[in-house]
Structure 1
């Protein structure tokens, strides 16, 4: 209660003390429509090697946190990453977490590439995904309301450098026999950068296209587990000429017409050297815009009408930035990425990761929600998949807002706006089209500490009320203008009456 009173006072005082930005939206047209499963999550396949670390798929706490990411529809979960290209499925249950033996090219499905790397980097060697582990994964995703996309090992190659699909078929046979549900498949992780793992590794874009074509033909033999998603080429981010050329060449192959969801991976900064200021730097946030435009331009150029995906993405690469990617300040990169991606016709954004690394939604030791978890829950509860255009006056790179039709369950015509104040001083944001009472979800850093591991909602710190229960995420009533304190972000729902004709359809 005290927190709500505090916020109310801040709102009133702020109206007298701060400059004002006017935010309007076009109520008459939809500029983009994302998937209803727009926000998804990932697990790194490398967790299989270490028996999932501290996460227990049977844990009521983990299941509760996962289920709360699916308020209206299932959530995509992608199992992939660098380790995916060193993972071998086995029907045996005796080898979980152990390294596979060198095969020297003598058995079907053998991975000769692993021999090259065996003495180079200890974590880049063949390891097993057992049938038992696959069973545990599917039990978890079914209970959690996750739809699984699995990244297959593209480094299983024949002597003439074709993809050896033998092991993939074994996995598919077992999956279909067990009656498991698959959302879709991926083949290879960042294949354009294999040379960074070892200079002798090279899967060209043309070769990857041939491998994807082969995979698409195999999937026709497994109709019950084919799924609706075939995503690739899963390159690194589209901010360097060689990567753009690789992505383009892949999309020009037959596979480009077969993938349902062309995707690339994106991170803003290097987690090893990132600073707190990087996370509120509007120039760094704006860098995503060019990459999205490049991806969309390549799809149009190659004759596609498909939606671009961010197939793996977070704030900082290299496992995240400790004390930043898992802190309050990470929310600015995450929320702006969701808004910018939706506005640029991206179909799905897969967050690296649900668990694992400093950029995870859950703390890697306690499994408690990190600040970005609460942001994600609010986004999925409040924000729909139809996007409206917004305009700010005066234009500001540091006060950033996006508008959508509201999520399912809201009255027809309802609009949700969300955005942030990246300035070190408070500011009033006026919404001339919004009359009457609004529902306001203001998020801020406890005690103004941007490196806090917690986040306040309307002045109240968000924490689980038990191992299986989240607190009520309650808005406060307010009217325009809305005061945003320094370095804060907000969701505003206008569901008292019709605000958008386009949202009525």
Structure 2
């Protein structure tokens, strides 16, 4: 504890005496108008369907520790949990735990059988597996206790001999869900269908075929009004930076089934997890590449009508399961926080973080389920940042970037929260001309300036669970303009009660 106190004193020293740094960045925002509005459940999380196959690994749905960490993500509203991913298209529901009792489902889908026969030699055990009713029960008990809202990804590779989606198993799952009285937030059908050729060159689900499947699913869900959920999301393509993917995304949304989708979505990752470097995570050019994808997605969605809003259905730093020692370390925060800021200002409704558990990019450690640094960032974001976005401008530097929102609902109407980062290897002063008086500062840095650290310091104190049933206090430091930001740091700032946004206060009262 003595070391923690020492680092905290050192941080206070920086905040008040680091202002002799020469370089000063000015950050301003438009307090009079709302730029965009996200869902109040803007930040969601995912779990891979493959965890069901592997009996959840070290992720115990009944663990008090896991439940405490899950609840920490939902301070005001429930958090969306999507269970899906590559293994969703290998998953068959069965009311029995015994495979021999479910041969009827395999026989109902000759194409499905053929697909699995051709992929049995594929890596990662990409073969069929079964989700029993007991596991479905456990999932629903967990989401109720954890304050999650479930979106489930159904198997689109259940096919008929005519290569159409076979809905038999989906109906079986819906009937069971209705009988048990479970509620759903929404549904998805298939994972990255434009990229099935990576699994096997013989598999092809066209955008038109996927549209037919979604239309069939929308008709089925209409027969289950008590459980269907309001969300139908898709087509869940890979990222929108290549022409074939853009064509697939567009063609799907133009189909009759595509029109039934409430939340058009795609997946996005910045870099290859096998080749990523520390420098990639703080490279402003790599971070900037993401915004073009959002502009493309928003343009396509706008052209297809229905006043829908774009989702990031699955996203993190590095594809291929993440970059070991980086995607789960302090340095990952820069990609994650910037992605939240860029998404919010570009009118994305929901961002689904891959993942809560599983892979090298998870919020929780694979062996211990201890929080990785991005978990604490996500908790702070959910506590402090509201869903109304203000236009923000900063002077001169792409390496010091900030975003402004109306504060979360736990704060005074009209208050604002700013968040941002210093990607430089030297400290900078950041001044906020519109903010008067005392600022509540949540400054996050790497312990011992180690960007690969699996821990994060908040105002000089390392964030760790105090017990399996409680999170630590996350206490801000009071400061004034300018705010000193050390090298490679990020920050959340709440303005003094005397500073407020006209647009935020009007928005708050309109919603009341």
CA distance in 2 between partners of 1:379 and 1:311 (Å): 19
2:318 is paired with a residue whose SS is strand
Deviations 1:447-488 (A, max 9, x none): 100000000000111111111111100000001110000000
Alignment map for 1:201-216 (pairs within 5 Å): 201-216=203-218
Tell me the number of residue pairs that the alignment of Structure 1 and Structure 2 aligns.
502
Query: Which residue of 72, 84, 88 maps to 2:88?
Result: 84
- Give 3-state SS (helix, strand or coil) of 1:363's partner: coil
Q: Per the alignment, do residues 239 and 108 of structure 1 end up closer, same or farther by CA in structure 2, a change over 3 Å counting? A: closer
Match of 2:241 in 1: 239
SS of 1:284's partner is helix
Which residue in 1 is equivalent to 2:77? 73
Q: Distance in 1 between matches of 2:263 and 2:32?
A: 28
1:253-274 Cα deviation digits (max 9, x unpaired): 1122211100000000010110
1:454 aligns to what? 455
Please tell me whether the aligned partners of residues 420 and 490 of structure 1 are also in contact (alpha carbons under 8 angstroms).
yes
1:4 to 8, 29, 33: 8
Shift of 1:416: 0.1
Over the aligned positions, Cα root-mean-square deviation in angstroms equals 1.6
Aligned partners of 1:472, 1:430: CA distance in 2, in Å?
27
Whole-Å separation in 2 of the counterparts to 1:228 and 1:75 = 15
The alpha-carbon distance between structure 1 residues 147 and 111, as it changes in their structure 2 partners (threshold 3 A), is farther
- Structure 1: which 4+ aligned runs deviate by more than 6 Å? 98-104
Counterpart of 2:47 in structure 1 is 43
Partner of 2:410: 409
Secondary structure of the residue that 2:205 maps to in structure 1? coil
Partner of 1:34: 38
- The residue number in structure 1 matching 2:341 is 339
**Corresponding residue number in structure 1 for 2:510:** none
User: Could you say which residue in structure 2 is the equivalent of 1:164?
Assistant: 166
What does 1:91-106 correspond to in 2, within 5 Å?
Answer: 91-95=95-99, 105=107
CA shift at 1:32, angstroms?
A: 0.5
Of residues 343, 350, 353 in structure 2, which corresponds to 1:351? 353
Post-superposition CA distance 1:427-463 (Å, at most 9, x none): 0000000000010000000010000000000011111
What secondary structure sits across from 2:357 in the alignment?
A: coil
Q: Equivalents in 2 of 1:212, 1:58: separation in Å?
A: 34
What is the aligned partner in structure 1 of residue 200 from structure 2?
Answer: 198
Partners of 1:109 and 1:166 within 8 A in 2: no
| From 134, 154, 177, the counterpart of 1:152 | 154
- Match for residue 284 of structure 1? 286
Residue aligning to 1:327: 329
Conservation of the 8 A alpha-carbon contact between 1:383 and 1:405 = yes
TM-score when normalising by structure 1? 0.97
1:392 equivalent to 2:359? Answer no
Counterpart check, 1:419 vs 2:420: yes
Alpha-carbon deviation of 1:124?
Answer: 1.5
Cα pair 1:99 1:128 within 8 Å, conserved: no
Q: Structure 2 CA distance, aligned partners of 1:210 and 1:495?
A: 54
The question of whether the paired residues in 2 share the 8 Å contact of 1:405 and 1:503 is answered with: yes
How far is the alpha carbon of 1:122 from its aligned partner? 5.8
How many angstroms does 1:383 deviate by?
0.1
How far apart, CA to CA, are the structure 1 residues paired with 2:124 and 2:409?
47
Structure 2 distance, partners of 1:304, 1:291, is 21
Name the CA distance, whole Å, in 2 between partners of 1:482 and 1:255: 51
